[in-house]
Structure 1
Amino acid sequence: MLLKFYYPEIKGVEIPDKNLCGVFKPKMRENNLDVEKLVRQALEQPIGTGKLEDIVGKRDKILIVCDDNTRLTPADKILKVLLPYLHGLGVRKEDITILIALGTHRPMLRKELVAKLGGNVVDEYKIVNHLWDRVEDNIYYGKTSRGIEVWGNRLLAEADFVIGLGHIVPHRVAGFSGGGKIVQPGVSIGKTIGDIHWLSALVPGTEIMGKRDNLVREQIDESARLMGLDFIVNVVQDLKGEVVGVFAGDLIAAHRAGCDLAKEVYGVEVPKADIVIVDSYPADIELWQAAKGIYASELVVKDGGYVILVTPCPEGVSTTHPEIEKFGYLPLKEVEELVQKKELEDLTVAAHLVHVGRVIKEKGHGIMVCPNIPDKVKEKIGFIPASTVQEALSYALQEKGEDASIVAMLHAGEILPIS
């Protein structure tokens, strides 16, 4: 069969029928739902908290924390309901600030903010890009039960009420995205972010992906409480990005309800295979994000198998983390040695190297098809380069044999493979 990808610059691949075990992707709902209506209903029926009208004061300073353009959260549609809702409670425009939860990503440009939030919002409200490395912007909030020091954006402490916006999909570090993750790591400093990510690197993906309650999420929830996240509005979207559910309220209770729906939408029964073809959609800007396609394959590829990553990455490997190209993807033991020798001090990067290295260095091999990353860079970071997916598949079949089983996962940046 001919398998096509979401990227017009990357050609499809012909897969022999005798080898193909299936092409898998998240589910798609047939009925188009009214997003604004769903948001309004969620605000009227919050989970685990009182309604905003009972807990927000007219003169309260409101901070809305919103994810950036590496996420598909339809923030513009949420804000189209949330902002008038707050104004209806007596909250003034000048008392509302929107903080962009960049984690360690680069700041968003104005045109990107307009696309994410809407032109009127950018023009009429104060918008702030979180800067994780600017000392004066961040303060100490406390320590979690595992001793993680929580440092983050001072605007949360200066606000009377903090609302987090996000979406819920399977996630290698936290089990699922969304919930308290909007502030940790969303608006935390590098060390705090690193400590959380490194904790996840010590645990196999099978123990975290698609599990709402795990040791990493526990630390995220504790961090979010310390930082003062009062309320969340999270969406669940289907294969096409259409909103199929909105969950508002407490950062744990509302998030847990949303994760139940996300698991239903993104959970797909996928057989294990010798060769796994994955795209990174919708995490496509740079490899730092596109590696999410690799994370999902950890649950599918057989030992000694090949994972073929198909991704455009117009901004290359990473604009903010040059350590990836310096060290490349490595097994856990080798990364631990780099950390112990203080040759690699950014634990967020260390965890990233482990998450990918666990798949392409420990469990199997990785082949990359990416028009915007040079072959020499692909090789340096640990991938076998290929100019087309057909070339990559031919190589993998040559190595694994003509009877090798093949699985393809589209929208793999967010799929949750279930055995």
Structure 2
Amino acid sequence: MQVTFPYPGFEPLEVPAGNFLGVFAPRETAPVDEDEVIGNGFQHFIDTGPLVDICRRAKKGATGGRVKVTVVIDDNTRPTPVKKILPYLFRHLAKAGIGLEDITLLVGLGTHRRLSPAELIAKVGPDIYGRVKVVQHDYRDEGNLVHLGCTAKGTPVIVNRLAVESDLLLALGSIVPHRVAGFSGGGKMIQPGISSAATTGQTHWLSARVKGEKILGQVENEVRQEIDAVARLAGLDLIINSVLSPDGRVAGLVIGDLVAAHRQGAMLSRRIYGVNIPEQADIVITDSYPADIEMWQAAKGIYSGNLALKPGGIIILVTPCPEGVAVQHPQIEQFGYGSLAEVEALVARGEIEDLTVAAHLVHVGEVIKEKGTGILVSQGINKETAARIGFIPAASPRVALDMALAMKGKDASIIVLRHGGDILPLVGEE
């Protein structure tokens, strides 16, 4: 069986037929009219009432009758078609007398790097960029963060000042399976999207104490509930969440309450990205598409691959990572991936203070250090760096598979996952 990869420069791979359990990918959806799907979404508001009514209520409490609207959008690490959806949103806001001059687009970077002007234009569209104010969140800029108290579980709610000072707070993102939150989208646009390091550290460190299979693809989980609690306290009024087909088309759009609408979208996402596999394999070969920019994102291939991996197995991650390991988080290269116990010790000694980084080290470490072994094939991460962070480096997919078979034996079972950044392998489910 010949396996190809969605990146230039990675040679096809021949997988021995006798070992092969199959190639698995998210379900292809029937072709749809995206304009119809988006337009239909803006006609059905889930547990909130129409947007125009929400705007009118906001106007009653606004200074001088002018409603300040903040729309949180995601960044270039997410495929949300923001530029396709914003015109529909702006038309609905206009019906309530809210013009472009009243709107600020707040890029929910979380702890990611800033976007370049070209990346911002690609995200919001050339017809919008320059006509609407765009601000990029900086989780380290304490002067632009506001403390709103704590959740019932004690997570400090510290978020971008723009969100707090707006009369109407909206969030535009997308929903796919996610290791920290179960699924992306919903309140996650606020936490971590526009939150402080302290807030994000608490929710991510909480997720590190729960094994990946107990969170990834689970619509309800304790971390998601905490994220939603943060978003409620931040005053998130409405979410606009797309669910994309594997080829990037809008398969669904849910708009409404941050919990009720999100859960509907998450169930649709699970139907698309959840894929039944016959059993776990000794060797899992996966890409990280579309999360390819750096290891901080590409690790999603490890998280999904974990669900398909037998204990003691080997996961081969094939990913370009043109920006290396993590531009914003050099401590990953300093400490490398490790077990929960190892990283907890580093935190206890004060060697790692950033709990978001600590959580990431555990999320990957539980797969390639505790459960099994990781082999990395990447053009953007050299072999010395790959080894330092905890992977066995390989020059090509062929070399990686030869290594894995030498370690596990020629009869080892093999599964290949495509669209590894979003796929949700399910064993024994339909």
TM-score by length of 2: 0.96
TM-score by length of 1: 0.99
Q: Is the contact made by 1:20 and 1:405 (CA closer than 8 Å) also made in structure 2? A: yes
Q: Report the equivalent of 1:17.
A: 17
Q: Report the equivalent of 1:204.
A: 211
Q: Report the equivalent of 1:53.
A: 52
Q: Report the equivalent of 2:382.
A: 374
Q: Report the equivalent of 2:261.
A: 254
Please point out which of 392, 398, 402 is paired with 1:394. Answer: 402
Q: Report the equivalent of 2:286.
A: 278
- 1:138-171 per-residue CA deviation (whole Å, 9 max, x = no partner) reads 1102211110001110101111001100110000
- 1:117-154 per-residue CA deviation (whole Å, 9 max, x = no partner) reads 10121110000000000111111022111100011101
Paired with 1:39 and 1:47, the residues of 2 have a C-alpha distance of: 14
Stretches of 4+ aligned residues off by more than 6 angstroms? none
Q: Is the contact made by 2:288 and 2:420 (CA closer than 8 Å) also made in structure 1? A: yes
For residue 415 of structure 2, what is the amino acid of its counterpart? V
Determine if the alignment matches structure 1 residue 231 to structure 2 residue 230.
Answer: no
Q: Report the equivalent of 1:116.
A: 123
Q: Report the equivalent of 2:220.
A: 213
Please point out which of 118, 133, 138 is paired with 1:126. Answer: 133
Q: C-alpha displacement at 1:304, in angstroms?
A: 1.1
For residue 53 of structure 1, what is the amino acid of its counterpart? V
Q: C-alpha displacement at 1:53, in angstroms?
A: 1.2
- 1:83-138 per-residue CA deviation (whole Å, 9 max, x = no partner) reads 12211221021110000000000111110011111012111000000000011111
Equivalent position SS for 1:71: coil
For residue 68 of structure 2, what is the amino acid of its counterpart? K
Q: C-alpha displacement at 1:42, in angstroms?
A: 1.6
Determine if the alignment matches structure 1 residue 30 to structure 2 residue 37.
Answer: no
Paired with 1:308 and 1:84, the residues of 2 have a C-alpha distance of: 47
Determine if the alignment matches structure 1 residue 191 to structure 2 residue 198.
Answer: yes
- 1:232-257 per-residue CA deviation (whole Å, 9 max, x = no partner) reads 11011111111111100000000000
For residue 254 of structure 1, what is the amino acid of its counterpart? A
Q: Report the equivalent of 2:62.
A: none
Q: Is the contact made by 1:35 and 1:77 (CA closer than 8 Å) also made in structure 2? A: no
Q: Report the equivalent of 2:38.
A: 39
Q: C-alpha displacement at 1:55, in angstroms?
A: 1.3
Determine if the alignment matches structure 1 residue 348 to structure 2 residue 356.
Answer: yes
Q: Is the contact made by 1:178 and 1:255 (CA closer than 8 Å) also made in structure 2? A: yes
Q: Report the equivalent of 2:155.
A: 148
For residue 343 of structure 2, what is the amino acid of its counterpart? V
- 1:291-322 per-residue CA deviation (whole Å, 9 max, x = no partner) reads 00000122111111100000000000010000
Equivalent position SS for 1:146: coil
Q: C-alpha displacement at 1:40, in angstroms?
A: 2.3
Determine if the alignment matches structure 1 residue 324 to structure 2 residue 323.
Answer: no
Q: Is the contact made by 2:281 and 2:414 (CA closer than 8 Å) also made in structure 1? A: yes
Q: C-alpha displacement at 1:34, in angstroms?
A: 2.5
- 1:15-51 per-residue CA deviation (whole Å, 9 max, x = no partner) reads 01111101001011122x2223322222221001010
Paired with 1:158 and 1:22, the residues of 2 have a C-alpha distance of: 52
Q: Is the contact made by 2:52 and 2:95 (CA closer than 8 Å) also made in structure 1? A: no
- 1:387-412 per-residue CA deviation (whole Å, 9 max, x = no partner) reads 00000000100110110000010101
Paired with 1:215 and 1:209, the residues of 2 have a C-alpha distance of: 12
Equivalent position SS for 1:362: helix
- 1:217-276 per-residue CA deviation (whole Å, 9 max, x = no partner) reads 000000000011100110111111111111000000000000111110000012200000
For residue 224 of structure 1, what is the amino acid of its counterpart? A
Q: Is the contact made by 1:26 and 1:265 (CA closer than 8 Å) also made in structure 2? A: yes
Paired with 2:355 and 2:385, the residues of 1 have a C-alpha distance of: 22
Paired with 1:35 and 1:23, the residues of 2 have a C-alpha distance of: 28
Q: Is the contact made by 1:36 and 1:78 (CA closer than 8 Å) also made in structure 2? A: no
Matches within 5 A, 1:59-138: 59-138=66-145
Matches within 5 A, 1:380-419: 380-419=388-427
Equivalent position SS for 2:194: coil
Q: Which runs of 5+ in 1 are unaligned?
A: none
Tell me how many residue pairs correspond in the alignment.
418
